[in-house]
């Protein structure tokens, strides 16, 4: 089941989608990003993430690499197949060939867990303003 935070959009209207099978990670990212002024939607697997990404417009999508039902690579392919300009940042505890393949498919980078909250916020800001990432792994 996905969680949608019902609050007024940030002045810039920026929405972020967090797709991760870990409740702890989803809640932490939702709290940190909400505190930074974003409207945050969450999905607990790739299937829900694709569904939400196709229904809504997001400034940035954070997507875990290893998930049940549909992994991060399959999720990136489905989202970018329908929305080629979507900006996706992968997250993973142990970036591997799947993370590299997701980047090759169009994900901007893979941010290794645990990550620094300041690095995450800066990365999102850079993605929003330039469409590229110079941080992360």
Q: What is the pLDDT of residues 48-92, one digit of tens each?
A: 999 999 999 999 999 999 898 899 999 999 999 999 999 999 988
Residue 24, pLDDT score: 94
CB 62 within 8 A of CB 106: no
14-28, 87-101, 113-127: range with highest mean pLDDT = 14-28
Distances (CA, A) of 105 to 34, 35, 118, 132: 29, 31, 26, 15
Q: What are the sequence ranges of the domains in the chain?
A: 13-130
State yes or no: pLDDT of 7 exceeds 80.
Answer: no
pLDDT of residue 104: 84
Q: Does domain 13-130 have CATH number 3.40.50.2300?
A: yes
pLDDT bucket at 93, cuts 50 / 70 / 90 = confident
Q: Note the pLDDT tens digit of each residue in 10-62.
A: 445 699 999 999 999 999 999 999 999 999 999 999 999 999 999 999 999 99
The CA distance from 135 to 4, in Å, is: 28
pLDDT for res 110: 82
Residues ≥6 apart with Cβ < 8 Å to 50: 70, 75, 78, 79
Whether residue 102 contacts residue 74, with contact meaning beta carbons closer than 8 Å, is answered with: no
Q: What is the DSSP letter of 7?
A: S
The predicted structure's pLDDT at residue 137: 41
Give the pLDDT of residue 61: 97
In angstroms, what CA-CA distances link 112 with 6, 14, 37?
A: 29, 23, 23
Interacting residues of 85 by C-beta distance below 8 A, sequence separation 6+: none
Lowest-confidence pick of 1-5, 18-22, 122-126: 1-5
Residue 30 three-state SS: helix
């Amino acid at each position: 089941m996905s969680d949608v935070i019902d609050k007024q959009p940030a002045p810039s209207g920026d929405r972020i989608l967090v797709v991760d099978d870990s409740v702890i990670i989803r809640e932490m990212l939702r709290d940190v990003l909400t505190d930074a002024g974003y409207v945050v939607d969450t999905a607990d697997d790739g299937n829900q993430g694709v569904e939400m990404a196709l229904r809504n417009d997001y400034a940035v999508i954070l997507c875990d690499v290893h998930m049940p039902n549909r992994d991060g690579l399959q999720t990136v392919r489905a989202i970018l197949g329908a929305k080629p300009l979507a900006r996706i940042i992968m997250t993973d505890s142990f970036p591997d060939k799947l993370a590299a393949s997701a980047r090759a498919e169009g994900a901007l980078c893979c941010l290794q867990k645990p990550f620094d909250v300041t690095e995450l916020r800066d990365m999102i800001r850079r993605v929003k303003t330039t469409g590229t990432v110079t941080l992360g792994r």
